């Protein structure tokens, strides 16, 4: 009888712990892993970060498996240009993407001769590093890295291939209740420029704001079980780094 009571108590404890974990994950904060190089040089493959779920309010995508428990968004607040945001891609409303918010409803965005224009004004860029490099999957790209500054003062690094493979685009007009996102690795990012794959992102698809890196590892250097190689595998300088 005692063993049965202990078993039941353990089940209750696990159940309560699961409920608490779901509440924290859905309403407060959630960890995410960076699987691609589309946000280099700011986010690297192997980075793990915390995303605050409360930053822009809640929709069905705030919860695991996006249950259709309600429509729209509540307790919502507007994101700002330059925020790094996790969202569900409109293509399937299931896959998590992380990109930088560039355009809000009513904005126009266009690339002309390799320069980014917002509402017909060229976005200010200053050179940060010439002959830099970033990755696109396993491919190493030769790039120039710039400090890019949005009209609201938000500043961050972006990389463009030296040969400017992406130079000109049509003009994108952001619809009502939608947002326009770009990756910081401008020549290696599937983002709102690709209308059939990502396109404009509805506000209900926003998951949360990326806040801080808490862990980062370079798996190409070896397994985490190789403790003697942690100085090569772990990027200690990225631990607990604020995301700009």
Would you please indicate which residues are annotated as catalytic (active-site) residues? 38, 99
Read off φ and ψ for residue 93, nearest 5 degrees.
55, 30
Q: Partners of 84 in the beta sheet?
A: 100
Q: How many CB atoms lie within 10 A of CB 230?
A: 13
Length of the chain: 244
User: Measured between alpha carbons, how far is 85 from 160 in angstroms, rounded to an integer?
Assistant: 21
User: Measured between alpha carbons, how far is 235 from 102 in angstroms, rounded to an integer?
Assistant: 29
**Which DSSP state fits 128?**
E
**Which DSSP state fits 37?**
S
Extended strands (E) in the chain: 29-33, 47-52, 84-88, 96-103, 108-112, 115-118, 121-122, 124-136, 139-149, 155-161, 172-173, 178-182, 201-202, 206-216, 241-242
CB proximity list for 1: less than 8 A, separation 6 or greater: none
């Amino acid at each position: 009888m005692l063993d049965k009571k202990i078993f039941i108590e353990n089940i209750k404890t696990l159940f309560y712990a699961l409920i608490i974990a779901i509440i924290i994950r859905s309403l407060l904060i959630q960890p995410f892993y960076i699987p691609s190089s589309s946000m280099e040089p700011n986010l690297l493959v192997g980075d793990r970060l915390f995303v605050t779920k409360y930053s822009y309010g809640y929709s069905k995508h705030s919860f695991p498996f996006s249950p259709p428990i309600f429509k729209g968004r509540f307790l919502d607040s507007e994101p700002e240009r330059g925020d790094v945001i996790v969202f569900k891609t409109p293509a399937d409303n299931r896959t998590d993407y992380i990109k930088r918010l560039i355009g809000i409803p009513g904005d126009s965005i266009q690339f002309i001769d390799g320069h980014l224009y917002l509402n017909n004004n060229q976005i200010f860029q200053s050179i940060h590093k010439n002959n830099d490099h970033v990755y696109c999957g396993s491919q190493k790209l030769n790039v120039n890295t710039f400090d890019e500054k949005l009209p609201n003062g938000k500043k961050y690094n972006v990389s463009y291939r030296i040969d400017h493979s992406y130079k000109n685009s049509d003009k994108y007009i952001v619809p009502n209740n939608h947002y326009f996102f770009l990756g910081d690795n401008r020549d290696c990012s599937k983002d709102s420029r690709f209308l059939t794959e990502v396109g404009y992102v509805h506000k209900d698809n926003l998951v949360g704001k990326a806040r801080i890196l808490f862990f980062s590892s370079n798996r190409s250097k070896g397994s985490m079980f190789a403790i003697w190689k942690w100085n090569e595998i772990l990027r200690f300088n990225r631990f607990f780094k604020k995301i700009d």
